[in-house]
Amino acid sequence: MINWNDILTYAKNGNLKPDTRLEKTNEEWKETLTKEQYRITREKGTERAGSGAFCQSYEEGVYSCTCCNSKLFDSSIKFSSSSGWPSFTQPYKLNSIAYIRDVTFGMERVEIVCSTCDAHLGHVFPDGPAPSGLRYCVNSESIQLIKD
Q: Kindly list the catalytic residues.
A: 137
HEC assignment per residue over the chain: CCCHHHHHHHHHHCCCCCCCCCCCCHHHHHHHCCHHHHHHHCCCCCCCCCCCCCCCCCCCEEEEECCCCCEEEEHHHEECCCCCCCEECCCCCCCCEEEEEECHHHCCEEEEEECCCCCEEEEEECCCCCCCCCEEEECHHHEEEEEC
Beta bridge partners of 101: 110
